A and B are shown apart, each in its own frame.
Chain A
Amino acid sequence: MQSQIQCPLCGGSLALNTELLLAGHSFTCANCGSCISLASGSHRTVQSAMTEFSRLKARTGEVGQAAQKAIGKG
Chain B
Amino acid sequence: MTDSSVNTGPALVSMAQQFSGLPMRSLIGGPLNAAAQANSMMAITQTKFLLNTCFNSTQPEGKDKDGKTTLTPIMVTMQLTRGLIDETPGEGGKPGKVTVEPLQTTFELPLLTLIPLNSLAVTDVQVGFDMEVKSSYSDESSQQSSSSSHEQGSFDAKIGEGFWSVEVKGSVSHDSSSSSSNKATYQKSNNAKYTVSVTAGQLPLPEGVTTIIQAYTSNISPVTVGGTQS
Contacts and interface: CB of A to CB of B under 8 A. Distances in A.
Nearest to B81: A35
Interface string A40-71: 01100110111011001101111111111111
A63 B115 contact: no
A73 B31 CA distance: 9
Contacts, number: 142
B133 interface: no
Given A6-B217, A49-B53, A63-B198, A70 B42 contact: no
Interface residues on A, range: 35 or more
A71 B77 contact: no
A63 B79 contact: no
A1 B76 CA distance: 17
A68 B38 CA distance: 12
B38 A66 contact: yes
Contacts of A63: 35, 38-39, 42, 122, 125, 198
Interface of A is mostly: helix
Contacts of B82: 9, 32-35
9 shortest interchain CB distances as A-B pairs: A66-B38, A70-B34, A42-B76, A64-B198, A39-B77, A67-B31, A34-B82, A8-B220, A67-B35
Interface of B: 26-27, 30-35, 37-39, 41-42, 45-46, 49, 53-54, 74, 76-83, 106-107, 109, 111, 113-117, 119-120, 122, 125, 127, 194, 196-198, 200, 217-218, 220-222, 230
